[in-house]
Chain A
Amino acid sequence: MENCACKVVFEFDNSADKLVSSLQYMLDNIAGGIPLHADPDDILFRCKAIITELLTNAIKHAGQSSTRFDIESDGAKLTIYKTDTGMPMYLIDGRSNGAGTQIPADNKHLISADPLSSLFAIWESENHIRFASEEGSLDDFLAVEQLAEHFGILIITNSSDEFTYTYDKKTRENIFRVRINF
């Protein structure tokens, strides 16, 4: 494990038993690097939500023994990277082989929608996706049965200033990148 004022590298073994201790380790490191002009409670709340979901995602989807977290900060922003070599996200699969997800001409794909929120994947290049969300109209709320039950990507999207996914074909790495502006 490597640790300095501006960068932390953390290897997570994808074990649910170590989820909370891993989260706490990363939050403790982030807390020391929050600049004075930022609101530490807000930054740590957002980081807790984001890292929790990235760890949960690692346990569910990484499909291998460990996942690497890189946390970098400067005076303007905090960036969290989660990297693994598991299967690429289904959205990338659909794009590259024509099966599964069909991408519209405007490169904006609706991942999920319910009366509370809509979640989109926006292709910025062939293997690079940015996530975005929009609030739904409660006027269309007919029944609680309409509600989604999967919130991981939505939580990260709403907690961050930018959330992207990149599939590196050469290294076969899945790279989730989350940016929070101070």
Chain B
Amino acid sequence: MITIVKESPKYIIGEVTITEANLSNSDEFKAELVKLLDEHQKVLIIDLQELKYVDSAFLGALVSALKYAISLKLDIVLAGLRNDIRDLIKLIRLDKVFKIYNYAEEASFAVNKM
């Protein structure tokens, strides 16, 4: 579901390989995020460019994982979102709590400057 494509001292970039994220796989998605945070102890940049469809269960899993990341003094950063998914995130104001970038490279540059 998530493939690590790059690792640096401050962050890892994980590419989401599924195209549909909904209530049938949201628990598994959250478990993978938590596992990556536990194993790497770095900021997690998630590249979501393959994702075409999400629902509220997926967004709930993202928020739950973000809470866990913050508890570890880490972060989850989103990149590569399709316009409609980005608009959905804005609709419920989650853009106020997630850092969102157009591309994973852009996100990694920003994380390095933190």
Chain A residues near B (Cβ < 8 Å)? 16-17, 19-20, 23, 45, 48-49, 52-53, 56, 59-60, 116-117, 135-136, 138, 141, 143-145, 147-152, 154-155, 158-159
Q: Which of B53, B87, B93 has the most CB of A within 10 A?
A: B93
User: Do residues B92 and A16 form an inter-chain contact, with CB atoms below 8 A?
Assistant: no
- Answer yes or no: B22 CB below 8 A from chain A CBs: yes
Size bin of chain B's contact surface? 20 to 34
- Indicate which residue in B23, B88, B96 contacts A155 across the interface (CB closer than 8 Å): B88
- Knowing A53-B55, A56-B57, A149-B60, the reply to whether A155 touches B91 (Cβ < 8 A) is yes
A138: chain B residues at CB < 8 Å are 96
Known contacts A19-B24, A56-B55, A155-B88; 5 further A-B pairs (Cβ under 8 A): A45-B84, A56-B56, A138-B96, A145-B67, A147-B63
User: Do residues A158 and B92 form an inter-chain contact, with CB atoms below 8 A?
Assistant: yes
CA distance A141 to B53 in the complex (A): 29
8 Å CB contacts to A: which residues of B93-114? 93-94, 96-97
Q: Which of B56, B57, B71, B84 has the most CB of A within 10 A?
A: B56
Q: Digit string of B71-84 for contact with A (CB within 8 Å is 1, else 0)? A: 10000000000001
8 Å CB contacts to A: which residues of B45-80? 53, 55-57, 59-60, 63-64, 66-67, 70-71
- Answer yes or no: B7 CB below 8 A from chain A CBs: no
User: Do residues A151 and B92 form an inter-chain contact, with CB atoms below 8 A?
Assistant: yes
- Knowing A45-B87, A151-B92, A152-B56, the reply to whether A16 touches B67 (Cβ < 8 A) is no
The 8 A-B residue pairs with the shortest CB-CB distance in the complex, in nearest-first order: A151-B56, A116-B93, A149-B60, A152-B56, A16-B24, A144-B70, A56-B55, A52-B55
- Indicate which residue in A20, A151, A152, A154 contacts B53 across the interface (CB closer than 8 Å): A20
User: Do residues B97 and A56 form an inter-chain contact, with CB atoms below 8 A?
Assistant: no
Say what secondary structure dominates the interface of chain B.
Answer: helix
A19: chain B residues at CB < 8 Å are 22, 24
Q: Which of B20, B66, B92 has the most CB of A within 10 A?
A: B92
- Indicate which residue in B24, B56, B67, B71 contacts A53 across the interface (CB closer than 8 Å): B56
8 Å CB contacts to A: which residues of B13-57? 20, 22-24, 53, 55-57
CA distance A155 to B90 in the complex (A): 10
B93: chain A residues at CB < 8 Å are 116-117, 135-136
User: Do residues A49 and B23 form an inter-chain contact, with CB atoms below 8 A?
Assistant: no
CA distance A155 to B85 in the complex (A): 12
User: Do residues A16 and B22 form an inter-chain contact, with CB atoms below 8 A?
Assistant: yes
- Indicate which residue in A17, A23, A144, A151 contacts B59 across the interface (CB closer than 8 Å): A151
B53: chain A residues at CB < 8 Å are 20, 23, 52
B71: chain A residues at CB < 8 Å are 145
CA distance A136 to B88 in the complex (A): 17
